[in-house]
Structures are given as C-alpha cells and as structure tokens.
Amino acid sequence: MLGRVIDRGLAADLRLIRFQATVSDRPGGIAQLARDMADIGLSVKDIYHERAWLHSRIDQVNVKVVAETTGSEHTSKAMKYLIDKGYPIAQDIN
C-alpha cells in the first residue's frame, strides 16, 4: 500500500509520467527509445509494447511508458526532446 501512495504522490507532483510513443518495429527500435529517454534523464518504471491492436503502419509498434522525472519542468523538457527526436507522443494514456 505504501508503494501505491508514493506513486500517486509522484504522479500528482508530475514526477511520475505516463505516455505512449510510436517507434519502428525493427530490431533496436525500443532500445533507441530507451537510450533517448536515458539521454534526457528519464528513469523507466514500466514499459509495454503492443503490436496487434494498432491503428498505425505495420512496421511500427506503440510503446506505453511510465517514467520518473524530477518535476514538471523536466517533464516538459523530456517530452519536447522526444518529440524533436521524431517520436509521436501521446501523454496521459489509459
């Protein structure tokens, strides 16, 4: 229960974010996203990729990510960085 309380507090403080990115479904596509997230200082808490229920091209995969940041300013910079790197991003996905 304590872990859930901490996660909710981090999310409320914008230190725990959730987003979806579309990446290449070729070997290394998800690894490149992970490297780019590391380069901007995001700490991955959870990552899930989905291939079957997509409305995108057959050579792409949707990656759902939960990551830790240092706060709202870091979140904004990280999302801009990933978008500038060419990742289509959807924030606060279900």
**Tens digits of residue pLDDT in 69-88:** 999 899 999 999 999 999 99
Find the Cα–Cα–Cα–Cα dihedral 19, 71, 84, 62, rounded to 10°. -10
Neighbours of 62 (CB within 10 A): 20
pTM, two decimals, is 0.81
In whole numbers, what is the pLDDT of the chain averaged over residues? 85
What pLDDT is recorded for position 31? 94
Separation of alpha carbons 53 and 94, rounded Å: 14
Domains of the chain: 2-91 (3.30.70.260)
What pLDDT is recorded for position 67? 93
AA identity, residue 94: N
Looking at residues 21-48, what average pLDDT do you find?
A: 93
What pLDDT is recorded for position 92? 62
